[in-house]
Structure 1
Amino acid sequence: MTTLSRPRGLLIDAMGTLLEPAAPVAVTYARKAAAVGITVSPEQIGPAFHAAYRAAPPWRFRTGR
């Protein structure tokens, strides 16, 4: 009989599969910013968010091996 080791973590890609945002991400960020006194429009956030995401280094995950 094979003994399975206990998983140390679980990664689920939920956005767009299990979850749908109530509003576009840029709209949500603009609302949260406004709640703390920062004035920024979704039109400003959208391109900046995409640029930051593209500029980020690739994600790296340890597999335990």
Structure 2
Amino acid sequence: MADSKPTREGPLTPEARKDAVVVEDPSKDSIVMTADEADLSAIRMLEEAAKARENHDKGERSD
């Protein structure tokens, strides 16, 4: 990992929008998270992915 200070810290906050999952303001550099924050980010991504799949199945599409 780079020695420079990360531009973002903490867990991600994804959101299901139609049939896609969007993470606002993702860092172009490294993101520093504790193991718990990484777990929380993964759980949030999975939950939002499930919502996006449901939206897709209902015909809500991004295209």
TM bucket normalised to smaller? 0.3 to 0.5
Instruction: Pick the structure with more strand per residue.
Output: 2
Larger-Rg structure: 1
Task: Using structure 1 for the length normalisation, give the TM-score.
Answer: 0.32
Task: Using structure 2 for the length normalisation, give the TM-score.
Answer: 0.33
